[in-house]
A = this chain, B = another copy of it.
Amino acid sequence: MKKIDLNCDLGESFGAWKMGCDEDVIPLITSANIACGFHAGDPVVMAKTVKLAADARIGLGAHPGFPDLQGFGRRDMKVTPAEAKAYVQYQTGALAAFASEYGLKLQHVKAHGNLYNMAGRDHDLAVAICRAIKAVSPDLIILALAGSEMISAAEEVGIRAASEVFADRAYEENGALVARSKPGSMITDEDEAAARVLRMVQEGKVTAITGKDIPIRADSVCVHGDNPKAVAFVQKLRTMLTEGGCELAPLSAFIV
Residues of A within 8 A of B (CB): 13-19, 37, 40, 42-44, 46-47, 67-72, 74-79, 82-83, 85-87, 89-98, 100-101, 135-137
Q: Which of B15, B46, B90 contacts A43 (CB 8 A)?
A: B90
Query: B14–A86 contact, CB under 8 A?
Result: no
Known A-B contacts A77-B68, A83-B44, A90-B46; A100 and B17 likewise in contact (beta carbons under 8 Å): no
Number of copies: 4
**Chain B nearest Cβ from A27, distance in angstroms:** 25
A97 touches B100 (CB 8 A): no
Nearest-CB distance from A139 to chain B (Å)? 11
**Residue in B closest to A92 when the chains form the complex, CB atoms:** B97
Q: Which residues of B contact A69 (CB under 8 A)?
A: 14-15, 69
- The interface residues of chain B lying within 8 Å CB-to-CB of A46 are 86, 90
- Once A68-B77, A94-B91 are accepted as A-B contacts, the answer to whether A86 and B17 lie under 8 Å apart by CB is no
Q: Is the CB of A72 within 8 A of B16?
A: yes
Q: Are B75 and A135 in contact (CB under 8 A)?
A: no
| Residues of B with C-beta under 8 A to A95 | 93
**A37 nearest CB neighbor, chain B only:** B90
| Residue pair B43, A86 in contact (C-beta under 8 Å) | yes
A82 to chain B, nearest CB (A): 7
Contact partners of A44 in chain B: CB under 8 A = 70, 82-83, 86
* A13 to B70 Cα, complex, angstroms: 11
A35 to chain B, nearest CB (A): 11
Which residues of B are found within 8 Å of A76, using beta-carbon distances? 76-78
Provide the bound-state CA to CA distance between A77 and B46, in Å: 21
A134–B87 Cα distance when bound, in Å, is 25
List 7 extra interface pairs beyond A47-B82, A47-B85, A96-B96, CB under 8 A. Answer: A13-B17, A46-B90, A71-B83, A90-B98, A98-B135, A100-B136, A101-B135
List residues of chain B with CB within 8 A of the CB of A74: 16
Distance between A46 CB and nearest chain B CB, rounded to angstroms:
7
Residue of B nearest to A114 (CB): B78
Residue of B with least CB distance to A93: B97
